[in-house]
Every structure is written in C-alpha cells, then in structure tokens.
Amino acid sequence: MTRLALLSTSDKSGLVDLAQTLVAEFGFQLLSSGGTAATLAAANIPVTKVSDYTQSPEILGGRVKTLHPKIHGGILARRDLEADLADLAAQAMEPIDLVVVNLYPFQATIAKADVSFGDAIENIDIGGPTLIRAAAKNHAHVTVLSNPSQYAAYLQQLRSAGARPTPEFRLQCAQAAFAHTAEYDQAIANYLLTAADSNPDQPLPATFTLSGVIQQTLRYGENPHQAAAWYRTGTTPTGWAAADLLQGKELSYNNLLDLEAARSLVAEFSDQPTAVIVKHTNPCGVATASTLKSAYERAFAADSVSAFGGIVALNRPLDAETSELLTQTFLECVVVPGCEPAAVAQLAHKPKVRVLVAPDLTVGPPLPIRTIAGGFLAQAASEQAPSPDQWEIVTQSQPTPEQWQDLIFAWKVVKHVKSNAIVVAKELQTLGIGAGQMNRVGSVQIALADAAAAAQGAVLASDGFFPFADSVQTAAAAGVKAIVQPGGSLRDQESIQAANELGLVMVFTNRRYFRH
C-alpha cells in the first residue's frame, strides 16, 4: 500500500531534506499545496498537489485548500476499525500516515509595529490547525510533526522502530501539536482583544488562557534560593526572546524585569536620541539630547550613584563615542536597537556587561498579566502616548514653550516610576525621582532632595493628584516653576490656589498613571 504524507508548512526549515528522505529511503508519496508544493517541485522532489489529489481546486485566494473529505478522511480513519476502512474504500480514499504542518506566522505578523488589522486577520491559519488537530486526535495511527525540530527524531524513529514510529513517540507529537494550536488560538484571541480596531473599553473575556514555551531555565529568581524559568509566548520568538545577546552572561530573572522596565520607558521617546538608566525597575536617570552620547551623559549625571550596576536602554543604534562612555562604569545590561561595529569592538573591553540588540523596542505585551493567590490579573496596556492637546492649564501663569516640553518629558517618565511617583526635570533631563513611597509627600521630598539646587526653574510631575497644598508649597520652595498632575481630587482648588499664590504653572492631564 502507498504510504502518504501531507506536507504544508509556513516555516520551510529542514523541509527539503525531510521530503527527500521520506521519498528516497521510505517510499512515501507526498501531497502538498501552495508554497510548500512549489518548494518541493523546485528541489525536483516528486509531489502531488492536493488539488489534483482531491480533484477540487484551491478557492477563495487560497483560503480553502486542504479542507476536503479526501484529506481528512485519510487522516482520521482508524486503521483497526473495519467500518472506517470500508468507508475509505467506498470513497476511493487512501489513509495518510504522516502530517507535517506548521502554521501561518500570526505571532510574528502582529509583532510588527506597522501591521494592519487586515493583515493580521489574513495570517490566521484555518486549514493548518484543522490538519494538526485531526492528526493529533488520531495519533494511534498517524504521526503529526508541527515543528521542524521534530524531523530528525521522526526519521530516527522510522529507522529504528520498524519503519513506523512507536506509540509513545506519536503521543508525544500529539501533545506538542495540541499545545501548539492552543497557544496559536490564544495569541489570536489576545490580539483581537487589544487590536486597534476593537473597542478599547470592552470588558476582558470570561475565560482567559495563558501558556508559554520555555525559553531558558534561569540560574535562580529574584534571590538565589528561588528556582526560576523564562517562558516565551508564541512559537516564533518575539520581544526579548528575539533579541540578540552580543556579549555577556545569560540573562537573569532580575535582568529581564529591569530590561522590560527600561524598554517600556525608552519606547516613549522617538523624536530625539534618548537614554534611560533603570535600577530595580525604576528609572534613576533619563535624558533627551541632540546626540546619543549627550543623552547618555546627561542621564548618567542625573544620578551617577544609582546608575552603578544599572540597566541602560538607548533609542538609537549605539555608536563608538557612546559605547566608550558605557565602558567607564559598571553596568549590568545595555539594550539598543542596533550596534555599529566600532561600538561592538569598544564594548568587548567590558566582556561581563550584557549587550542586547532588540531592533524594535516599542512593542510591549498587549495584555500585561500579574499573578495573585488563586489566579492572575490582566489589564489593557497603558502605552498610549501623552495627549498634551487635551491637557488643561488650570493656573493664571502659563507655561513657556521650554516648560511645556519639560512637562511632557516629565509626564512620560513619571508613568514608569512606582507609585507614589514624583519626577523633577529640566531641559529634558531628570534631576530627581521619588519612587514607591507610602505617601506622596515623601516622594516629593526625595525627588527634590535629589535635585537639590538644580530644582531652580525645574518642572515636577506627579502620577497622582495633589489633594493638599503642602506638596505644591514644598515644590515652590525648592524652586520648581511648573507642575503637571492628573487632577481629579475633590480638593483640586486648594492646590490650584496655592500654585496661583506662588506664581507656579499647574497643568492637569486628566489621566492617571499609577504603577504598583
């Protein structure tokens, strides 16, 4: 009896070698469609198109190719059930022993910054998951390979197990297949929940599935006594899993947390070169300048003590001048969207610093998740750019153009500081940051103490409103000239009155950015 294998892959890695071996060594007849059939034909491997086999043409621009009874009957037929074999014979169908399918790259598609909703929808695979699930269901008789990494093991099975994989191997492949389709469907569901074309105010679903594939077993977690692992979502690496580690040791649990904090902050800035330095997930120095070197110098100068052992994120490709500065202090990690060869050579003098190239630092998780006892919390991402055109100047004093730019800058930073959060800034440079205090007055005092005399003429941003005049008065006494805050307190007028009496500018954003 002819042994049939159906091959339909988006990822063509190892496809030609597998197909050649199936035909030459094990006598398989190959069925395929679309680009996979073209790839096999170009390699002079005999292949029958699915449309020729089923006598049904591909339709709807390729949306319907393998959805046919002759295909699914061949996959789902139970070889030990006479009724199933009789059905196959009556319909002139042949059993299909091997299904090699991987899916349209949906996760990679939606990871692109410029992907449209329509393009994302067209990259939802329908026939592929159906084939995989059918073969996995009938794993007692059929082998399903859903990842190129399985090809070598399958061929070894054929060579060592009497030309037919063992039941244990087929079960393992079925388990991997169902995990693959479950993860694929989850990625689609999550995307549709957060896509730009959907209603941002719609509630999250009643059921939410979270799954991941292990990327790396970590040496330990936050502390040496805690076991930890890094999981990625999606079969195609994206985000940090897709970043290129140019040098340095493997990333740690704490590195990854700090890197994500740095990425999410530097993603706020695109117009000008910007440097972010993070320590324990809080920024300690942020600056924007005309050159990347100047931006890093100013971010480092904002808090050179805390910068020691920090995480640096830059929004421009790293040049040699800036990399030379980076080697002058101890840093844990540096992440950049690109790295010039001279900069790579410069950083090699500090082999312990982890240097990552992540081409797109703007894409974050669409649905941030945190675990709690007995479950987890999910919320929509808060990565929308500030909308200064909707801000409200509530004082008699009006901001100068320079103050307005500093207010926008400080507001972008404060949303990434742990609550209660205060940022003092001037000339697009942070001067003092108060983070994670139990009361807002404490954060104000810390930020102003860090800024010291440099607070003269600076602006101050607060992630929450000022319900009392005390913080306004403290800021004015230190030399602050403008404040940006959400507003919304029942006692807003008290803060506004204090600002007016002291000649300060106060701006309400009407949007809060708590970060717990």
pLDDT value, residue 194: 65
Q: Where does 3-194 sit in CATH, by number?
A: 3.40.50.1380
Per-residue model confidence (pLDDT) at position 33: 83
* Residue in 48, 4, 9, 21 with CA at minimum distance from that of residue 132: 9
Options 279, 280, 412, 481, the catalytic residue: 280
Residue spans of the domains in the chain: they are: 3-194, 244-357, 384-508
Q: Between the ranges 44-53, 120-129, 135-144, 231-240, where is the mean pLDDT highest? A: 135-144
pLDDT(384) > 80: no
**Bridge partners, 245 (sequence order):** 356
Three-state SS for 119? Answer: helix
Among 74-88, 260-274, 297-311, 483-497, where is mean pLDDT lowest? 74-88
pLDDT at 171: 93
Among 215, 216, 221, 260, smallest CA distance to 234 is for 215
- With b for 16 or more beta-carbon neighbours within 10 A and e for fewer, the 445-474 pattern comes to bbbbebbeebbeebbbbbbbbbeebebbbe
| pLDDT tens track for 227-265 | 999 998 766 678 899 899 999 999 999 999 999 999 999
Query: For the chain, what percent of residues have pLDDT higher than 70?
Result: 94
pLDDT bucket at 123, cuts 50 / 70 / 90: confident
Q: Is 31 helix (H, G, I), strand (E, B) or coil?
A: strand
In contact, 255 and 278? CB cutoff 8 Å = no
112, 137, 249, 415: which is the annotated catalytic residue?
137
Q: Is 137 a catalytic residue?
A: yes
According to the model, what pLDDT value does residue 1 have?
Answer: 57
Q: Say if residue 167's pLDDT is above 50.
A: yes
pLDDT digits (tens, 9 = 90+) for 9-64: 888 888 898 988 888 888 888 888 878 888 888 988 888 888 778 777 767 766 67
- Integer Cα distance of 68 and 54 in angstroms: 7
Least reliable range by pLDDT among 52-61, 87-96, 252-261, 437-446: 52-61
Please provide residue 32's backbone torsions phi and psi, each rounded to the nearest 5 degrees. -160, 175
- The pLDDT of residue 298 is 97
Range in 250-254, 387-391, 431-435 with the lowest mean pLDDT = 387-391
pLDDT, one tens digit per residue, over 451-506 is: 999 999 999 999 999 888 999 999 999 999 999 999 999 999 999 999 999 999 99
Return the minimum-mean-pLDDT range out of 266-275, 340-349, 361-370, 453-462: 361-370
% of residues, the chain, pLDDT over 90: 51
Residue at token pair 């800021």: 475
Separation of alpha carbons 297 and 269, rounded Å: 17
β-pairing, 48-49 with 28-32? parallel
Distance of CA 110 to the CA centre of its chain: 10
Backbone angles phi, psi at 479, to 5 degrees: 105, 0
What one-letter code names the amino acid at 26?
F
Residue 109 confidence (pLDDT): 75
- 197: confidence class by pLDDT, cuts 50, 70, 90: very low
Predicted pLDDT at 356: 96
pLDDT of residue 196: 47
95 pLDDT exceeds 70? Answer: yes
Section 266-284 average pLDDT: 96
In whole angstroms, give the CA distance from residue 415 to residue 435: 11
For 348-381, give one letter per residue: b (16+ CB within 10 A) or e: eebeebbbbbbeebebeeebeeeeeeeeeebeee
- Of the candidates 478, 475, 495, the residue with the CA atom closest to the CA atom of residue 486: 495
Q: How far, in Å, CA of 455 to CA of 436, rounded?
A: 21
Q: How far apart are CA 243 and CA 229, in angstroms?
A: 17
**What's the confidence (pLDDT) of residue 217?**
95
Q: Quick check: is 280 catalytic?
A: yes
Written in H, E and C, the secondary structure of 221-254 is: CCCCCCCEEEEECCCCCCHHHHCEEEECCCCCHH
Please say if the pLDDT value at position 136 is more than 80. yes
**Domain 244-357: which CATH number of 3.30.50.10, 3.40.140.20, 3.40.50.300, 3.40.109.10:** 3.40.140.20
Q: Are 286 and 413 in contact (CB under 8 A)?
A: yes
Across 72-95, average pLDDT: 80
Secondary structure of 135-196 in HEC code, one letter for each residue: HHHCCCCCEEECCHHHHHHHHHHHHHCCCCCCHHHHHHHHHHHHHHHHHHHHHHHHHHHHCC
> Which segments of 315-435 are extended strands (E)?
331-336, 354-357, 369-372, 375-378, 392-393, 422-425, 430-434
The SS3 call for residue 359 is coil
Task: Report domain 384-508's class.
Answer: alpha beta
pLDDT band at 190 (very low <50, low <70, confident <90, very high): confident
Task: Answer whether residue 78 shows pLDDT above 70.
Answer: yes
Q: Which amino acid, residue 82?
A: E
Task: Tell me the average pLDDT of the chain.
Answer: 88
Q: Return d(Cα 374, Cα 381) in angstroms, integer.
A: 23
Res 89: pLDDT? 80
Nearest residue to 39 (alpha-carbon basis) of 54, 22, 56, 20? 20
Residue 338 has pLDDT above 60, yes or no: yes
| Mean pLDDT within 441-458 | 96
198 pLDDT band, cuts 50/70/90, is: very low
> Is there a shared CATH topology between the 3-194 domain and the 244-357 domain?
no
pTM: 0.74
